[in-house]
Structures are given as structure tokens and as C-alpha cells.
């Protein structure tokens, strides 16, 4: 968590057996606020849903297509992610966990979208 927002990709995993912890793995990043000032209009949930719907309807990527007109979202939340920027810079990102197992990320700064199956 950073400023109360979950950081996508940070985790601690422990494998426990009858004797205790058999092994563990940690992926954790240290963060600091950027000194660069960036003013953006906040990406509302409603606008993010519009971007998601448009991407699903227009995207030729099979991972983004649905068989009917409905879109089932199991969970939606704002997270910090660097999966779209890929430059080590974490942006606030809408994360949509879809019923079919797909995760869709929408960058709150530039509305870029990434689908992960």
C-alpha cells in the first residue's frame, strides 16, 4: 500500500507445512512521490467503464472480446501499477477483474489500456 492504495505486483508468499514455513518469497518495492508536477483530470469510474466498454467492442484482440453484449466485472479498484508505463514509474490505474479471468488495466493519466489474461 502507498497512500492507502494497493500496489499491483507487491506480495509476500509463504508455503507452510506441518513443520512450519517451508519457503517464502517476497516482491516489494520502495516508493517515493515524484517531484514532477503532473496535472490530470481524475479518471472517474464512469469514464473508465466507458473506456473499457469501447475497448471491448472495438478491439480485435481475442482476450478483449466477449460473446454477448454484457460485461461482468467481479472487482474494480484503483491501484498503482507500472505494467503500462514499463519504465519503473507507477501510475494510478483502474484495475478491472473480469468474470472470465481477464484483468484490464486503464492508466488514469493517459487512458492507455492493457488486457492481461
- Which pLDDT tens digit goes with each residue over 89-103? 888 999 999 888 889
Tell me what pLDDT residue 66 has: 58
Distances (CA, A) of 51 to 1, 19, 32, 57, 106: 26, 49, 29, 10, 8
First vs last C-alpha separation in the chain:
24
- Neighbour order of strands in the sheet with 113-116: 6-7, 73-81, 91-98, 103-107, 113-116
**Cell, residue 77:** 479498484
- Which pLDDT tens digit goes with each residue over 50-66? 999 888 877 656 655 55
Spatial CA neighbour of 92 closest among 107, 72, 114, 77: 107
Strand partners, 12: 26
The yes-or-no verdict on residue 6 having pLDDT over 60 is yes
Alpha helices in the chain (DSSP H): 45-58
3-state secondary structure of 63: helix
Tell me what pLDDT residue 102 has: 87
Tell me what pLDDT residue 16 has: 94
Tell me what pLDDT residue 70 has: 59
Tell me what pLDDT residue 19 has: 93
Tell me what pLDDT residue 33 has: 74
d(CA 6, CA 114): 18
Predicted model pTM = 0.73
Query: Where are the chain's structural domains?
Result: 43-116
The yes-or-no verdict on residue 74 having pLDDT over 60 is yes
Higher per-residue confidence, 35 vs 105: 105
Amino acid at each position: 500500500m502507498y497512500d492507502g492504495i494497493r500496489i499491483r505486483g507487491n506480495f509476500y508468499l509463504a508455503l507452510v507445512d506441518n513443520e512450519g514455513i517451508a519457503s517464502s518469497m517476497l516482491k516489494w518495492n520502495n516508493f517515493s512521490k515524484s517531484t514532477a508536477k503532473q496535472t490530470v483530470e481524475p479518471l472517474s469510474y464512469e469514464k473508465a467503464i466507458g473506456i473499457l466498454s469501447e475497448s471491448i467492442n472495438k478491439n480485435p484482440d481475442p482476450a478483449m472480446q466477449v460473446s454477448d453484449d454484457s460485461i461482468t466485472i467481479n472487482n474494480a479498484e484503483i491501484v498503482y501499477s507500472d505494467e503500462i508505463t514499463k519504465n519503473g514509474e507507477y501510475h494510478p490505474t483502474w484495475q478491472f477483474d473480469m468474470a472470465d479471468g481477464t484483468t484490464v488495466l486503464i492508466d488514469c493519466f493517459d487512458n492507455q489500456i492493457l488486457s492481461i489474461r
